[in-house]
Amino acid sequence: MSVDLAWQKLPVDLDPNRLPKHVAAIMDGNGRWAKNKGKPRIVGHQKGVDALKDLLRCCKDWGIPALTAYAFSTENWGRPLEEVQFLMTLFERVLRRELQEMMAENVKIRFVGNLTDLPKSLRQEIERSMQDTENNTGTQFTIATNYGGRQEIVQACRAIASKVERGYVEVEKIDESLFEEHLYTKGITHPDLLIRTSGEMRISNFLLWQIAYAEIYVTPTLWPDFDRAEFYKALTTYQQRERRFGKVKSTNNK
């Protein structure tokens, strides 16, 4: 994968002070991309990895500190067995292959989701990648794997209920910040921008709590074709939006 030098620096018409601090991506359309090219779906997933890698590097190049990608949902187990197995092997292989480069690029890797149900060899690679990159200070790269937003919220409720039951937490002390402490994404800022490729107008159980005030950008582009030019379009749209967080726009004539 090579990057057009023209896209290596932040495009001049983007305001570096108004970039999202955290971008989340629902990487949809790998299968359709492959089908359109008369190739098996797995080729789409392989190309999807290239697109993700370049987006991660682009975040570094353009000064966006955090990226979260939805790699595998709790619902994705319902896909044909060969595809699920292919994806698990792909994740493992990519982690093994890319870890050194992630270290060199100072990326901090974090996996979120119900990791206990993943194959053991993948879990080991996940553990290793998180441990090795723990003290890195560059891009925070979060990969949602066997992740479901509802499941995340339910497991947080259970963990808090258990603490209440054992007398460690008083019911009155349960507030948003305590709740957040029990989410998989503990310590990671909320996404400012959520990108979904392939045109579907859905959230698909992704970061339900965390995207409460994220700007949503949907593009018909299929994930393997989501390159820097597409990211530029997403960021341009983002910078044209007015984020009010439920308040009214502040004006001089109050």
Contacts (Cβ under 8 Å, ≥6 apart) of 237: 217
What distance in Å separates the CA atoms of residue 226 and residue 52, rounded to the nearest whole number? 9
Q: For ligand FPP, which residue of 25, 56, 66, 143 counts as binding (CB under 6 A)?
A: 143
Q: For ligand FPP, which residue of 23, 24, 25, 27 counts as binding (CB under 6 A)?
A: 27
Residue placing its CB nearer to ligand FPP in the complex, 142 or 210: 142
Residue placing its CB nearer to ligand FPP in the complex, 87 or 160: 87
Q: Is 32 one of the binding residues for ligand FPP (CB under 6 A)?
A: yes
CB neighbours of residue 183 within 10 Å: 19
Nearest Cα to 118, choosing from 53, 74, 68, 67?
74
Minimal CB distance to ligand FPP: which residue?
31
Residue 65 burial class via C-beta count within 10 angstroms: exposed 0-12, middle 13-18, buried 19 and up? middle
In this structure, what are the phi and psi dihedrals at residue 200, rounded to the nearest 5 degrees?
A: -75, 130
Q: Is 191 one of the binding residues for ligand FPP (CB under 6 A)?
A: no
What's the farthest any 2 CA atoms get from each other in the chain?
Answer: 63
Nearest Cα to 19, choosing from 249, 197, 246, 236?
236
Q: Is 152 one of the binding residues for ligand FPP (CB under 6 A)?
A: no
Q: For ligand FPP, which residue of 20, 23, 25, 28 counts as binding (CB under 6 A)?
A: 28
Q: How far apart are the first and last CA of the chain?
A: 53
Residue placing its CB nearer to ligand FPP in the complex, 78 or 167: 78
DSSP H or E segment with residue 232: helix 228-240
Q: Is 110 one of the binding residues for ligand FPP (CB under 6 A)?
A: no
Residue placing its CB nearer to ligand FPP in the complex, 204 or 237: 204
- Residue 158 Cβ, how far from ligand FPP at the closest point, in Å? 27
* Residue 165 half-sphere exposure toward CB, CA atoms < 13 A: 6
What distance in Å separates the CA atoms of residue 208 and residue 210, rounded to the nearest whole number? 6
- Residue 183 tokens, joined: 């989410």
For residue 192, indicate whether it is catalytic: no
Residue placing its CB nearer to ligand FPP in the complex, 56 or 160: 56
For residue 36, indicate whether it is catalytic: no
Stretch that binds ligand FPP, among 7-15, 46-54, 158-166, 203-211 (CB under 6 A): 46-54
Q: For ligand FPP, which residue of 31, 113, 149, 191 counts as binding (CB under 6 A)?
A: 31
Subset of residues 193 to 222 that bind ligand FPP, contact rule: CB under 6 A? 198
- Chain residues that interact with ligand FPP, rule: CB under 6 A: 27-32, 45, 48-49, 52, 69, 71, 76, 91, 94-95, 143, 198
List residues with catalytic annotation: 28, 76
